[in-house]
Amino acid sequence: MTHVHDVAHQHDLALVAVAALLCLAGAWATSRFFRRLTEDGATQRYGWLFLTALASGVTIWATHFVAMLGFDAGAPVALDVPLTAASLLVAVAGSAVGFLVGATGDRSSARPVLGGAVVGLAVSSMHYVGMAAYRVDGVVSWDTPLVVLSVALSVLLSAAALLAARRARRHGWDAMAVLFALAVLGLHFTGMSAMHVTPAGVEGELAAPGSRYVLAIAVAAVALVIIGAGTAGYLIDARSRTASVERFRRLAMHDVLTGLPNRASFNERLEAEIGRAWERRGRLALVVLDVDNFKEINDQRGHAVGDEVLRALGGRFAALVDDVRTAFVARVGGDEFVATVRVDGEGDLDAFLARLARTQSAPVRVGADAVPLRMSTGVAVFPADAPDAENLVNNADLAMYRAKRDPVRDVCFYDAAVDERTRQRRSLATDLRGAVDRGELFLHYQPQTAVVTGETDGYEALVRWRHPQLGPVSPGEFIPLAEENGLIVPIGAWVLRTACAEAVTWDPPLRVAVNVSAVQLAHTDLVETVRQALEESGLPPERLELEVTETAVFTDRERARRALEDLRGMGVGLALDDFGVGYSSLDVLRSFPFGRIKIDRSFFSGEATVAQTVELIHAVLSLGRTFGMSVLAEGIETDDQLALLHEVGCEGAQGYLLGRPAPLEELVRSGRLRLAA
């Protein structure tokens, strides 16, 4: 008698259900392990490959084994233990190869399909090796088309499973679990439908029904323990990853030193608060706070104390936020904090600012020391002062810088009319940053004249800036900007190189004077910059004179003295510029190696009488003779002033009467200078 396979009649549906549930559980675990296999680095990858292959192999094998225990062949049955064990190894090893292929390479490539096909062949191989271990007392025949169909289903569904996992985004891993389970179940039941058994003797079965149930449950339990152990590891890893992500997110969004939110967190919160205020037609105040004496604290007490001050401020601001629920405070820079607060009532902002003031007023105790704080505060309100986050921050910043400059007020509110000038200066400073590279700077030269002969004996190089939109910008405007922003160092280096390169072409070979600011003099590279400019241009050092103000000398006296002595040692001339408006200390003339004194123009444009001016110039000339320095007077604009210099015996003069600053091309064109061949 031939038994044709029928799921409903030749399978125990209870064991079929157990096999199906086992298959779904194993497929879900396999899909999650495969996900980690595709995400983690090389070190963890092989661990996840082992778990993926083990879960897949056990799922395939246990599903087949439990379903086979529920199959009634109509004849006595025995199992070949070595072949049964071999079928498990085939499932695990084949899955390992397939998942490794499918997990590597680009997700858009054919590798997921190829890897899935290998997994499908592993499923098929396991099934038919397992069927070879299924020894039934009778004749077994196979329906070849159904066998081919079972293998095709397994290969196609497994390939689709890996393809869904690698390419789909949101539900790809769930799709993989379902498709992989269908591949295993489809292969098993289609393959079983292909088998026909003709009993050789009396009808029988593998064991008593009770024994089959016990064996099936045991196999399922062992399989679930193996799959469950891997799943537990996956869930622990997922929880650890979630905790790590949250920890990294906190680190990314919070300041490590103070524990307050950082700039990224502030930007996110500000956008949300502005959106809320816009929707509800409310107001939002942005407050910028800066510790005025933080550099002083660091310099005098050390950076450790500075850090403690910032930590203490962070704690105070955090406590303030706990009390004022609509407030938010972040640290966005070294000693700069920002706060936002919703302004629902008329007194809300004033009350919040008063609490901020109390928070800052108390000194910070560091050990036995009480460190006093000075803070400047700028306030801007949305939407009255700005329509968006960027402008609101800029306007509050402008108000804060005005508070820094105000000797009376610590808190300033944004004022469009007052702060517009500051905004323009900031914009100009930004444009000045690239002026050298864009070729917007150029030099003018003003003659320096010997009073007795009236002949030009040198030129002072004066930098000029032609802004592409604004046109010529006054040096009185952009030079202070360059000094405030540290741009004077690269600009000064450019002036020095350019002046030397142009002066070396002059005929006759006159002296060229270049101004050096306090920032340049304090910079460690000044001497080397001068040396390189002379070497590159070929200008003799004695033809270069550097003009330094008294203020620049007193900024860092010892460093200035060393730098000037090194320059004088190279043969470069040194002039004390603007003499008479600074300290005018005899000690400066005695301690620094100047070779020339330049009398400031204010000597001639002030309210002093002619007699007083003569006496003042006589005094300076006397100092010059005492210290072996020549004297040049600036700001000479009238014949009377020049005659006075001639009368008192002043060696040099400079001013509009003797020549206005002009570009080199104009000096050459007018015949005042020739260029050497």
pLDDT digits over 399-428, tens only? 998 888 887 888 999 988 777 777 788 888
pLDDT at 495 over 90: yes
Assess if residue 247 is contained within a domain: no
| Cis peptide preceding 383, ω within 30 of 0 | yes
Domain count, the chain: 3
* Chain Cα centroid distance, residue 374: 30
pLDDT at 247 over 60: no
How many whole angstroms separate alpha carbon 631 and alpha carbon 617? 9
pLDDT of residue 41: 57
pLDDT of residue 248: 55
E strands in 414-481 = 441-450, 456-467, 471-473
Residues 101 and 195 grouped into a single domain: yes
Using an 8 Å Cβ cutoff, are 130 and 84 in contact?
A: yes
Residues 307 and 218 grouped into a single domain: no
Domain CATH for 339: 3.30.70.270
Assess if residue 252 is contained within a domain: no
Q: Quick one: which of 666, 607, 603 has its CA closest to 636?
A: 603
Choosing from 382, 414, 446, the residue where a domain stops is 414
Choosing from 370, 390, 414, the residue where a domain stops is 414
pLDDT at 211 over 60: no
Alpha helices, H only, 104-208: 111-132, 144-167, 172-193
Using an 8 Å Cβ cutoff, are 328 and 321 in contact?
A: yes
Residues 95 and 136 grouped into a single domain: yes
The pTM of the full predicted model, rounded to 2 decimals, is 0.54
Residues 102 and 200 grouped into a single domain: yes
Domain that holds residue 234: 3-242
Residues 404 and 466 grouped into a single domain: no
pLDDT of residue 564: 94
Residues 332 and 445 grouped into a single domain: no
Assess if residue 254 is contained within a domain: no
Residues 371 and 448 grouped into a single domain: no
pLDDT at 644 over 60: yes
Residues 9 and 154 grouped into a single domain: yes
- Residue in the structure block whose two tokens are 């299924």: 134
Assess if residue 424 is contained within a domain: no
E strands in 311-452 = 327-331, 336-343, 364-366, 369-371, 375-382, 411-413, 441-450
Token duo for residue 193: 């439908």
**If you compute the radius of gyration of the chain from its CA atoms, what whole number of angstroms results?**
44
Tell me the mean pLDDT in the region 530-552.
Answer: 94
What share of the chain in percent tops pLDDT 90? 36
Residues 282 and 217 grouped into a single domain: no
Residues 78 and 115 grouped into a single domain: yes
Choosing from 414, 445, 479, the residue where a domain stops is 414
pLDDT of residue 380: 94
Residues 565 and 510 grouped into a single domain: yes
Assess if residue 650 is contained within a domain: yes
pLDDT of residue 3: 45
Token duo for residue 30: 């396999």
Strand 369-371 to 573-579 pairing = unpaired
Residues 464 and 500 grouped into a single domain: yes
Token duo for residue 458: 């040198």
CA distances in angstroms from 66 to 140, 197, 330, listed in the order given: 20, 19, 61
Assess if residue 39 is contained within a domain: yes
Assess if residue 44 is contained within a domain: yes
Helix 13-39 vs helix 209-253: crossing angle, to nearest 10:
30
Assess if residue 251 is contained within a domain: no
